[in-house]
Amino acid sequence: MKAGYGQQAPYTLPLPQNWGTETIKLPIDFAPKIALKGVEELRFTPGWGDSKSGEYWSYIFMWFVDGKPNLNSDTLTSYLTQYFNGLYISNLKNKTAPLPANFTKAEVKKVNTLPNDQQTYEGTIATLDFLTGQPISFFARVHIRNFDKIKHTAVLFEISPQAYSQPAWGSLDAVVGEFRVAE
């Protein structure tokens, strides 16, 4: 059973062998100003936490939210900034040390719409890696998919420090490509 649903979730986000998973209720505790209601599903590549892997920090998170929120470059940029600021701070081991503020710089722009999307965005995120405490930069691809019959929207985020041409993106793209909703 998925968090936020009394029954089985109305979607399927594939979980390839050896990938990690997590489910979080929205709004997210560490980013409460992202005013979306629903559920967040995460899929972590097998090499997500291994700094020597070509999959380091390569993962997907999907927000399956109520209704049809107004999402555009500005709102997505703001949400990603809040998300990664909150993610870093929530994972700090020493929460008594002075906390950094506004260290994440995100920017996404609308690109040619990919199959199954109503909108597609790409961009970059410069933030701090909570695993190392060091700066890290990500490439991001965001897929917006509206499901009017069930009054929900899926926002699928592909995140990786690897360039889009690298193998990690093939794995991320495959999971997003197999995402399904029962309408």
Tens of pLDDT, residues 150-170 = 999 999 999 999 999 999 999
Average pLDDT rounded to a whole number, residues 163-179: 97
Structure tokens at 142: 């965001």
φ/ψ (deg, to 5) at 169: -70, -30
Token couple for 7? 């029954």
Tell me the per-residue pLDDT of 78-132, one tens digit each, with 9 for 90 and over. Answer: 999 999 999 998 887 666 666 677 789 999 999 999 999 999 999 999 999 988 8
The residues, ordered by sequence, that sit 6+ positions from 70 with a Cβ below 8 Å of its Cβ are none
d(CA 171, CA 40): 19
* No. of helices (H) and no. of strands (E), the chain: 2, 9
Find the Cα–Cα–Cα–Cα dihedral 51, 57, 59, 61, rounded to 10°.
Answer: 150
Which pTM value belongs to this model? 0.93
> What was the pLDDT predicted at 7?
56
Q: What is the pLDDT of residue 122?
A: 98
The answer, yes or no, to whether residue 4 has pLDDT greater than 90, is no
- What amino acid is encoded at 178 in this protein? E
Average per-residue pLDDT for the chain = 92
Query: pLDDT exceeding 90 applies to what percent of the chain?
Result: 83
Residue 48, both tokens = 């997500």
